[in-house]
């Protein structure tokens, strides 16, 4: 495989590794898939419904000289996750990196939220991450190396009105991260979480201009984040440079928490 262009950046020595990035057809997941590909990683681009978008990401990676496949699966469905993981291992005989990025929102005040709205969000955001980790860990244990990155959120650390289900799912990822990190550390597998702040994706673009300005006034760096801000930290945590970092939660929020 021809190594994708590094654009002058120092290599993280991830050449030939295989990654599964869930929810990778757009936004943060797409940026992570492309960044890993630039580091020489073979990337499985998971999607649920956006087949055309996922294929575009695959083609972008191939245009960089990388290797990628698109894999459809609803991460909240164990049978689909199991089949997806089996397909990935059959294709590349290994899985070195799992990025649990797939996520959904259904915002409503808690007292008006339906049980279905609660369950659907928790099912994808939290249960989905658990199912994907469960599916890849046996292979990582056999390899005695692995990297799992769970995409939490600043909302999971601080809460947010109208997002009780989303905040609970993202807070749950913190507990999942720390528990699994303790279980697999001796196998040279690290598990960490990222907690992005306000990143320019479809979810943030839905905010009104007034609300965006209110958000900006609370961010010391005076800008919204971009998906590449998250992708860079993800690539670092997947590398051997981060081999002694596990069970941690990293905020990527422009100083919002200061």
Cα distances from 240 to residues 15, 17, 18, 223, in angstroms, run 12, 12, 15, 31
Phi, psi of 68 (to 5 degrees): -155, 155
User: Residue 7 burial (CB < 10 Å; 0-12/13-18/19+)?
Assistant: exposed
- The 8-class DSSP code of residue 93 comes to S
* DSSP secondary structure of 131-175: HHHHHHHHHHHHHT-EEEEEE--HHHHH--TTBHHHHHHHHHHHH
**Residue 145 burial by Cβ neighbours in a 10 Å radius (0-12, 13-18, 19+):** middle
DSSP three-state, residue 89: helix
Kindly give, in sequence order, each residue whose CB lies less than 8 Å from that of residue 30, ignoring residues fewer than 6 positions away: 24, 53, 57, 227
Catalytic annotation present for 198 = no
3-state helix, strand, coil in the chain (%, to 5): 50, 15, 35
User: In whole angstroms, what is the distance from residue 246 CA to residue 158 CA?
Assistant: 22
Catalytic residue among 47, 130, 166, 198: 166
Instruction: Enumerate the active-site residues.
Output: 166
């Amino acid at each position: 495989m021809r190594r994708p262009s590094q654009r002058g950046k120092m290599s993280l020595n991830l050449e030939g590794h295989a990654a599964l990035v869930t929810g990778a057809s757009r936004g943060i997941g797409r940026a992570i898939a492309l960044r890993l590909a630039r580091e020489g990683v073979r990337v499985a681009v998971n999607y649920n419904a956006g087949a055309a978008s996922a294929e575009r990401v695959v083609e972008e990676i191939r245009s960089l000289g990388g290797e990628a496949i698109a894999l459809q699966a609803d991460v909240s469905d164990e049978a689909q996750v199991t089949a997806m993981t089996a397909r990935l291992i059959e294709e590349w005989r290994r899985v070195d990196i799992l990025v649990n990025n797939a996520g959904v929102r259904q915002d409503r005040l808690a007292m008006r939220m339906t049980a279905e709205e609660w369950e659907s969000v928790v099912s994808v955001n939290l249960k989905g991450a658990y199912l994907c980790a469960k599916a890849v860990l046996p292979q990582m244990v056999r390899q005695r190396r692995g990297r799992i990155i769970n995409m939490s959120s600043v909302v999971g650390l601080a809460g947010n009105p109208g997002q009780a289900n989303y905040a609970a799912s993202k807070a749950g990822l913190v507990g999942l991260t720390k528990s699994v990190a303790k279980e697999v550390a001796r196998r040279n597998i690290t598990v960490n979480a990222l907690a992005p702040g306000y990143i320019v994706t479809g979810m943030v673009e839905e905010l009104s201009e007034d609300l965006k300005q209110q958000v900006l006034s609370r961010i010391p760096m005076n800008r919204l984040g971009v998906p590449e801000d998250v992708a860079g930290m993800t690539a670092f945590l997947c590398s051997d440079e981060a081999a002694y970092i596990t069970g941690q939660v990293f905020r990527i929020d422009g100083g919002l928490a200061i």
